[in-house]
Structure formats: C-alpha cells, structure tokens
C-alpha cells in the first residue's frame, strides 16, 4: 500500500483516492487568481492542524505579511502561531530575493531538509525558481535534482505554475511531465462572478478520479464538491473542456 499525504481538503482527497502520494512532487497549475496559493496555504496549514506534520512555505511571490493576511482572511486563525513556533517555516520573497541571497537561502533550506523535521513543502512559484537557471536544459536538470532532494528528505511537495488548464491549443509544459502529479485549477467567468473547478490530471502510482469537479473559495479555504455531476449546473458552451 502506497503511503499518502492528505491535503485535508476532503473533496480533493476523495478525488485523489486518499491523498497525494507521499514524498512526491505535484504541480498546481492555473491562471492568475485560480486559487493556487490558497490551495498551498491550506495544504501547509492542514498539515499542522490536522496531521501533526510540519511544513515549509517558499514564496517568491509574497511577503510573510501577505501570507499571514491571506491565511487570516481564510479563517486560518492559528497560522501566525504556527509560524512563530516553527511548525510552519516561511521563506518569503524578501528573504529569497535579497540580492544574491537565493544561494544562502538555499544553503539554509538544504541544511533544514537534512535534519528531516518537515513533511510538507510548497514552492510558489516554479517559474520564479526557474529564473535561477540559464537554459531549458538546466531548468529540467535542476528541477529533477531538486525534486529528488525533496523526496529523499521525506517531503511531499506542491509547486505552483502559472499556466492555464490544458485546452487543445495550449502547450503542455515540460514541468508537467517531470512532476509526479498535476492538479489544474480552472476559473471561468459568469454573469455573477466566476465558476471554479479542480482537475487532477495525473498522480503517479495511484488511481484517481479524472473528472473535473466544481469547487469554491470562501472562508475556510477551498471546498471541492465531491459530486462531479454538479458540473452540469453549467451549460454546455460554458464548459472548459
């Protein structure tokens, strides 16, 4: 039986048939505002709150205070406490992007990984991480090396990727092939706001539900509706596939 790491988002864990494969790396893709960062916050927060698993949150996109405010707006009231007592370790963009400092951050991170105190890791976003490499070949090589290191350190990882859902005319990035799991977050505009969906396109070593499921973002974070047929609330022409 393959060990799993629960996201703690019930509907999503159901789609995954239990959770994410332990020690794997999953790419969370979606357009701006699709909910990638929120999914990641929730994954790390649930880890501590529900499963007694510590998490590391690497953000090239936001400051520690942005993350705290986002967490609080979602009702993750203990976020700051967990950060302060070290159950959640945040490396924000201030730290990661200080001039020439990604190397020293990487040093601290690698050391931390060797100690093996953490179970979950988030990298938001992969695109920013890839800026440290010079060409496609380097990006691929070092993405694979980095995921190897994370896996070997006992971490189950989510990486975000600014890429829309795969329609026939969007190219599938190499990142999608190089990672163990692919989750797409989709939002389509409606008269009153947006409809949101989640699609688990792959999870290596595991049988998954490959339908597209509706979800909502509200206080409490992401809520996935377990019934794929709720998708039929949308008319045919609105369907993203």
Partner 1 sequence: MDSGEILQTLGNKYSAEILDATDEPVSAQELSDELGIPIATCYRRIDELTEHDLLELHDNILSDDRRRIKVYRRNVDEVRVDFDDELTVHIEERSEVTNKLDEAWRTLSER
Ligand X SMILES: Nc1ncnc2c1ncn2[C@@H]1O[C@H](COP(=O)(O)OP(=O)(O)OP(=O)(O)O)[C@@H](O)[C@H]1O
Which residues make up the interface to Mg ion (CB under 5 A)? 37
Each residue 110-129 as x (binds partner 1 by CB under 8 A) or -, in order, gives x-------------------
Are the C-beta atoms of 67 and 41 separated by less than 8 Å?
A: yes
Phi, psi angle pair for 42, to nearest 5°: -65, -40
Q: Does residue 50 bind partner 1 (CB under 8 A)?
A: no
Give the H/E segment covering residue 222: strand 221-224
Q: Residue 79 corresponds to which tokens in the numbers above?
A: 């976020």
Cis check: omega of the bond before 5, within 30 degrees of 0: no
CB neighbour list of residue 123: distance below 8 Å, 6 or more residues apart: 58, 129, 157, 158, 159, 160
Q: Does residue 101 bind partner 1 (CB under 8 A)?
A: no
CB nearer to partner 1: pick between 127 and 149 = 149
What do you get for the CA distance between the two ends of the chain, in Å? 33
Tokens 């332990």 locate to 22
If one counts every other C-beta atom within 10 angstroms of the C-beta of residue 198, the result is 24
Each residue 51-70 as x (binds partner 1 by CB under 8 A) or -, in order, gives --------------------
Residues binding partner 1: what is the number (CB under 8 A)?
15
Q: Distance between CA 32 and CA 235 in Å, rounded?
A: 24
Among ligand X, partner 1, Mg ion, none, partner that 74 touches (CB below 5 to 8 angstroms by kind) = ligand X
Among ligand X, partner 1, Mg ion, none, partner that 33 touches (CB below 5 to 8 angstroms by kind) = ligand X
Q: Does residue 142 bind partner 1 (CB under 8 A)?
A: yes
CB nearer to partner 1: pick between 108 and 230 = 108
Among partner 1, Mg ion, ligand X, none, partner that 218 touches (CB below 5 to 8 angstroms by kind) = ligand X
Contacting residue, 10, 69, 72, 152, with partner 1 by CB under 8 A: 152
Q: Which residues bind partner 1 (CB under 8 A)?
A: 102-103, 106-107, 110, 132-134, 138, 142, 145-146, 148-149, 152
């Amino acid at each position: 039986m393959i060990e799993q790491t629960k996201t703690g988002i019930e509907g999503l864990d159901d789609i995954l048939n239990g959770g994410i494969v332990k020690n794997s790396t999953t790419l969370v893709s979606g357009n701006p505002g699709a909910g990638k960062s929120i999914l990641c916050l929730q994954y790390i927060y649930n880890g501590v709150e529900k499963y007694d698993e510590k998490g590391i949150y690497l953000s090239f996109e936001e400051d520690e205070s942005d993350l705290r405010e986002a967490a609080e707006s979602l009702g993750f009231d203990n976020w700051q406490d967990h950060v302060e007592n070290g159950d959640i370790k945040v490396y924000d963009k201030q730290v990661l992007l200080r001039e020439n400092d990604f190397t020293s951050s990487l040093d601290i991170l690698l050391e931390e990984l060797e100690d093996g105190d953490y179970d979950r890791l988030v990298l938001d976003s992969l695109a920013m991480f890839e800026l440290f490499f010079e060409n496609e070949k380097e990006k691929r090589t070092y993405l694979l090396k980095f995921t190897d290191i994370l896996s070997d350190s006992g971490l189950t990882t989510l990486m975000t990727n600014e890429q829309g859902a795969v329609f026939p005319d969007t190219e599938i990035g190499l990142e999608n092939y190089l990672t163990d799991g692919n989750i797409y977050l989709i939002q389509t505009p409606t008269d009153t706001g947006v409809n949101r969906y989640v699609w688990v396109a792959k999870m290596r070593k595991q049988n998954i539900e490959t339908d597209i499921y509706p979800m909502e973002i509200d206080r409490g974070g992401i809520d996935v509706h377990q019934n794929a047929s709720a998708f039929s609330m949308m008319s045919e022409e609105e369907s993203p596939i």
